[in-house]
Structure 1
């Protein structure tokens, strides 16, 4: 593992593959350009398409720290970037009073806003220390005003702390932002990033992913699982389509049950691994599952 960057798109694709991530040409190109241009990479797409995994693989293969900011409703600057350690500041004041140093109030106030009292949160942590991959995960879950906090770090790899000054990264982090598009992310964020839509993989790539993440799976079972999931995504109105992670989990579950291929009974009994909502499971179980199994077998043979 090394922090040296891959020299071209093919090398970037190989680097991702070595980490167990099978990327298509367009995604590998977006990752390669983000690394070499020093630009944040904004990945948007349906849940379960592998957006978060890209940051994890890049951190592992480039030998960098993974710093993850998981976004949520109500996320603010204190939780995302930094916070002053008020307890330690109060203790410093009391120690100064006890020692008689509190008379010089200007010096005391300056000392209270020293870097040693600053508690680092993910955004600030990614700017210091060893080189990092900063993952800002599911930005669409955060409140829209929070996006304004990110503009400085995305554009200039720095954070301004009013009481302390500007803190710049000696080694800029590799920044990956993900969104499931539950709401639109502001244009100001998009303009500072390279953009890529991460879609569900086609059958050939999903089969490669399955071979990589679930090695030893029977060839017939692997082919039928992928064909079944592809058919499921292509037809019908489902509350939540299965992502690649669900495909892998389902294949592993079927293998653990010693299934050599898809059979109606075992498919019905394991739908909770593939689908996460009872309405979807109820619609698929039975005749609909049997129809998809038959079509999947034909696709697998073809």
Structure 2
């Protein structure tokens, strides 16, 4: 990526490098794991309908990663494809190692699941790439989901690539979430990996993400904080301004001394919560109870200007 132009961009770049695109690594991995667990039954069903003998599919790990690390290592002799969506031209990247391809090919043609399956050490054949593409398609359909939170991947996926074509393929680097699935047949295990852009994942499946077309600006704010947080109790504090005093005057204050409020102080009360000023209020009384009536939202910029004028 280009060098950050200012300190703010530099901070954002450092945060992304250390803890992911949002600075909330736990949120990203939790969201990715929830996505994997929801998609797993559909992946098993989809592959089961395509293969002559069943194979095992299980989640191995979920972690933060980068798209640049998605390309299969040469020793894996694997295959790869990429899915685009309206959110990103490289929203999803799928990679599979050759041992997993061999397991799927054996299962497709009715191989004995009790016999070990060797990894493919030569270049993958067109048939093997077709099988890898078929597996990628089933995974993408399962992950895609349906309804307003669907990723809307462009299906069918491009043909899987391997070998020299894979090594020459340009992958745009960026923050990603990685999900590794184990493909098993008997005692033989291979790996199929899913890489998704963190922004795409959070946009569609993060708990903070609004449902498209259902929320306005104000509703979006409430949705982002969630129902539980909105019910949280906070302590409100109302303060009234006193007359300005020097440090020497304050040092001479004595027990029982009366301090006079400045003019119009009753109409300049400030309502705050958690050390954050929210509103300018008017102090009053209702029956036996003291009250504050909200006059206007607190303007921090205007308050700074007023403070400078009074000095």
Higher relative helix content: 1
Instruction: Find the structure with the greater CA-based Rg.
Output: 2
State whether TM-score is above 0.5.
no
TM-score of the superposition, structure 2-length normalised? 0.24
TM-score of the superposition, structure 1-length normalised? 0.25
